[in-house]
Chains A and B, each alone.
Chain A
Amino acid sequence: DVKVTQSSRYLVKRTGEKVFLECVQDMDHENMFWYRQDPGLGLRLIYFSYDVKMKEKGDIPEGYSVSREKKERFSLILESASTNQTSMYLCASRPTGARGTQYFGPGTRLLVL
């Protein structure tokens, strides 16, 4: 079974703090994704990566950056957290050629005070 894990289920941070969200997958997938999920808005893509050290902006990259130093790990970084970044963050991975099927981690619920 594909396993995608995220470093924290719940996180509380203060405005202005730097926040790191980690995602690890154990199936050697090339492609990894970070989404945020908000009520009424569904999942929105923040960034994705199709290879080590490669990244592309998604639909809402502002205020975020990412790092992919190893194939199995994809990190989302909030350089200076703001209250409007309070959300559920979901990581996903997908092998190349799987025609769109993505496997999701359990999510990190982030509260920025």
Chain B
Amino acid sequence: EDKVVQSPLSLVVHEGDTVTLNCSYEVTNFRSLLWYKQEKKAPTFLFMLTSSGIEKKSGRLSSILDKKELFSILNITATQTGDSAIYLCAVAGGTSYGKLTFGQGTILTVHP
């Protein structure tokens, strides 16, 4: 059975802090790992990672994948209150039609 585990489950920081969110996985026939941000609405896509060691960046957010150790991290530097959200990690694997297995999510709260 495919499994994705995120840590920590929740995190409270102050503006300007740097945070690292973790995602480990056990998936058959790994295809890709995805990060989503969810505020009080639909999850929005952040990154898709398919290869080890290649960092993806978008502004203050970056992410990297380690396919040997089966994990990914999402870094957010100089956090802002607008970064407060649930961050979801998901892995596409198996033989089905783009089926994703999600982790529990990390609830990030950024205080001013």
Contacts and interface: CB of A to CB of B under 8 A. Distances in A.
A99 B92 contact: yes
Contact of A104 (B42, B92, B97, B103): B42
Contact of A96 (B48, B92, B97, B104): B97
Given A99-B50, A101-B48, A106 B100 contact: no
A103 B43 CA distance: 8
Nearest to B93: A100
Interface residues of B, number: 27
Contacts, number: 70
A43 interface: yes
Contacts of B43: 43, 90, 104
B81 to A, nearest CB: 22
A101 B88 contact: no
A61 B50 CA distance: 29
Interface stretch (A13-21, A44-52, A67-75, A79-87): A44-52
Interface of A: 4, 30-31, 33, 35, 40-45, 48, 50, 56, 58, 90, 94, 96, 98-107
B100 A102 contact: yes
Interface of B: 4, 6, 9, 31-32, 34, 36, 41-45, 48, 50, 88, 90, 92, 96-105
19 contacts: A31-B98, A33-B100, A40-B104, A42-B88, A43-B90, A43-B102, A45-B99, A48-B97, A48-B99, A96-B98, A99-B48, A100-B31, A100-B32, A100-B48, A101-B34, A101-B45, A102-B34, A102-B98, A104-B43
Most chain A Cβ neighbours within 10 Å, of B32, B50, B98, B100: B98
